[in-house]
Amino acid sequence: MIRRVGPPPIKGQKYTQRSGAYAILPVPGGVLLTGQQGDWLDIQLPGGGIDPGESPVQTLHREVLEETGWAIAQPLRLGAFRRFVYMPEYDLWAEKLCTVFVARPTRRICDPVEPDHVTLVLPWNVAIDSLGNDGDRMFLQRYASGRT
């Protein structure tokens, strides 16, 4: 059973399952994150939905590059969580199945190509407090506590 994080599903609401891969990216001085600009800056672990025919690791490489402009190496799966959310950019109620990895950023290739995304490097404690969803926060906090 994959742990649910965040609010429970709304009774009677139909959800589409959406699998995704997300990365914790340690760098000197903290962790590399992405911020999605809208009405507010939503700070997230870089990552996103797995496209048809794509593996979670392929998704991770593609999404990290799109959202941060960085290439990565040595992804290691840490675990998974699920959450029930409305995704306004897709007009979709989704059960998101989020697989979280840790990976090593190797080099910055370009600016983020994903619209409205910015690359951020935040100290660990600031990053944990700033993440926009409980699942990302849970995994980052677990990972950070094991680093000491």
7 in a structural domain: no
Q: What is the mean pLDDT of each run of 10 residues along the chain (148 residues)?
A: 94 97 97 91 96 97 97 97 93 97 97 93 96 95 82
Q: Which domain holds residue 135?
A: 24-146
**pTM assigned to the model:** 0.94
Q: What is the CATH number of the domain that holds 29?
A: 3.90.79.10
5 in a structural domain: no
98 in a structural domain: yes
Please give the tally of structural domains in the chain.
1
102 in a structural domain: yes
CA distance 26 to 103: 8
Say how many CA atoms lie within 13 Å of 13 toward its Cβ.
14
3 in a structural domain: no
Predicted local distance difference test score (pLDDT) of residue 148: 41
Predicted local distance difference test score (pLDDT) of residue 42: 93
92 in a structural domain: yes
6 in a structural domain: no
CA distance 5 to 97: 10
